[in-house]
Amino acid sequence: MTRIGVLALQGDFREHMRAVERLGAEARAVRLPKDLAGLDGLIIPGGESTVMGKLMVEYQLDQPLRDAIHAGLPTWGTCAGLILLARETDNALLGQPLLAAMDIRVCRNAFGGQRESFETELDVPALGEEPLHTVFIRGPIVESVGPGVEVLARLNSPRLIAATGGFDIVAVRQGTLLGTAFHPEVTDDLRFHEYFLAIAREAGVGVS
């Protein structure tokens, strides 16, 4: 059985675990370095990226996470998780630890505060023709991507793009790394989780 870890320090990790289990895979809460052993993939959930980063350091998880990702562990970051995976963020709070795994630059809270959270439909060709209903909660935006990064989805609303200063990238993939600015785990559409599980199974890495 495919074993997917979900970083469970803070944020909506329970929703991701339920989605993984609904697809017939095993979900494991990751709180300590020992929890990384035997994983086929890892999800870093949404939440507060600053708090999550500080807790990673406190629990001595930051470097083991970097090492596991560098060794090829498929990893998916949603919202705050996307921020933590980025090599750079232009408005992080002082001392914000980043895993710096994806060659992307991200802007935190790109649409504004909690009151500016919204839902919208996105075209995601990698998931099929049917649009994906997405939920953005104090969502980030990807401002730039490196040459090895594939853009999976862009905003198609002029109003929302204007709110971010003209940036529109909201889902990216770099090899076995996946990042989404929205929260697939709070909807009933499991296609993004299926997509990530396929990446994990194809990679067949497993952390020793």
Residue 119's CB is within 10 A of a number of other CB atoms, namely 13
The gap from C-alpha 138 to its chain's centroid, in whole angstroms, comes to 14
Summarised one tens digit per residue, pLDDT across range 9-18 is: 999 999 999 9
Class in CATH terms, 3-203: alpha beta
Query: Which CA distances in Å does 34 have to 5, 65, 177, 178?
Result: 11, 11, 21, 23
Phi-psi category of residue 189: left, alpha or beta, with phi > 0 → left and psi -120 to 50 → alpha? beta
**CB atoms closer than 10 angstroms to residue 18:** 13
Query: Residue 8, Cβ neighbours under 10 Å: how many?
Result: 18
Q: Could you give phi then psi for residue 15, rounded to 5 degrees? A: -65, -40
For the annotated catalytic residues, the residue numbers are: 79, 183, 185
Question: Can you give the residue ranges of every domain in the chain?
Answer: 3-203
| 27-36, 92-101, 196-205 — most confident range | 27-36
The pLDDT value given to residue 115: 81
pTM for this prediction = 0.94
Task: Answer for the pair 122, 134: CB distance below 8 angstroms, yes or no.
Answer: yes
Separation of first and last alpha carbons in the chain: 16
pLDDT digits (tens, 9 = 90+) for 53-101: 999 999 999 999 999 999 999 999 999 999 999 999 886 666 678 899 9
